[in-house]
Amino acid sequence: MAEKLLEIKNLKQHFPTSKGTIKAVDGLTFDIYKGETLGLVGESGCGKSTTGRTIIRLYNATDGEVLFNGENVHGRKSKSELKKFNRKMQMIFQDPYASLNPRMTVADIIAEGIDIHGLAKSKEERMKKVQALLETVGLNREHANRYPHEFSGGQRQRIGIARALAVEPDFIIADEPISALDVSIQAQVVNLMKKLQRERGLTYLFIAHDLSMVKYISDRIGVMYQGKIVELATSEELYRNPIHPYTKALLSAIPLPDPDSERTRLRQVYDPSIHNYDGEEPELREVSPGHYVSCSQTEFAKYTS
């Protein structure tokens, strides 16, 4: 049985506004196991990125628990405890242009975590670590003294990956790490992440809206809609046997590399009104081993018959 690294229990992230409360994340419960990649997908505004930022404590959770190695991430913590936690969990951000300080050299950007956690005893050791990390992500040692504006988008994202790796984390949240990149570069970055996972035993939460790329990198996939997970299964099972109507709609929107099929293929549109819950709150229920769907008791009976 795989070991749980992260346990999310009824996680909520609500934002009060002048027009009412926005329930960006509204009661998520799922686990992430050591060494796996869990993909989190859904349309813009469904709460994917907010989930990642709440897990890593960039936002304080409104309610619920995030347990990392059995320890509550959102519990009271001293500065030293927070520092230790921040070393174990890192984030790769969506925009490689905005996430790197243009006034800092690549060496200083990558070494920020090394400096904070005291992982180098001298300037020479610091530079050696930076150069090794640059080579690990497919860049050159000479790039250390350059500035972010001298690099392409794909190279900048590699710098962002090197920065996350610098403190030797166990878990990385990748928040749409390829969405700002050219299609030709996306596969290179994803292949690099898979290679690093194999070599370093990393665990990923991979957040994206591109279901085809998520299938390629993920062991399991959670589909989000309006702050909730509506379906969770292995990537193969989700593509082979989607059950929730929203998942079916998302999959039907993936373009096929066949012009004839594309012309005749019907896209599905998700209409939430098809569900008749009659006051019954839908729950994430296991319809087959490891395959969970948000549904009512009536729908559950239909899905499992």
Percent of the chain predicted with pLDDT > 90: 72
Asked if residues 6 and 70 have their Cβ atoms less than 8 Å apart, the reply is no
Domain ranges for the chain, please list them: 4-274
- Of 111-120, 226-235, 272-281, minimum mean pLDDT range: 272-281
Q: What is the pLDDT of residues 202-228, one digit of tens each?
A: 999 999 987 888 988 999 999 999 999
| Model pLDDT, residue 263 | 74
Structural fold of domain 4-274: Rossmann fold (3.40.50)
- pTM of the predicted structure, to 2 decimals: 0.92
Q: Name the one residue in this structure whose structure tokens are 């090394």.
A: 114
Closest CA to 114 of 92, 124, 129: 129
SS3 state of residue 116: helix
CA gap 98, 48 in Å, rounded: 19
When pLDDT is averaged across residues 241-266 and rounded to a whole number, the result is: 82
Query: Dihedral angle at the C-alpha atoms of 122, 127, 128, 132, nearest 10 degrees?
Result: 140
Q: Please tell me what DSSP assigns to residue 251.
A: H
Q: What does each C-alpha distance from 92 to 24, 74, 139, 186, 204 come to in angstroms?
A: 21, 20, 17, 14, 10
| Model pLDDT, residue 77 | 79
CA gap 222, 229 in Å, rounded: 6
Residue 260 pLDDT > 90: no
Q: Which one-letter amino acid corresponds to residue 60?
A: N
Residue 126 pLDDT > 70: yes
More confident of the two residues 169 and 272: 169
Based on the number of CB atoms within 10 Å of its own CB, is 222 exposed (0-12), middle (13-18) or buried (19 or more)? Answer: buried
CA gap 37, 122 in Å, rounded: 35
- What is the rounded end-to-end Cα distance, in angstroms, of the chain? 28
- What's the number of CA atoms in the CB half-sphere (13 Å) around residue 179? 18
H or E segment and range at residue 248? helix 245-252
Based on the number of CB atoms within 10 Å of its own CB, is 262 exposed (0-12), middle (13-18) or buried (19 or more)? Answer: exposed
Q: Name the one residue in this structure whose structure tokens are 């794909």.
A: 154
| Model pLDDT, residue 1 | 65
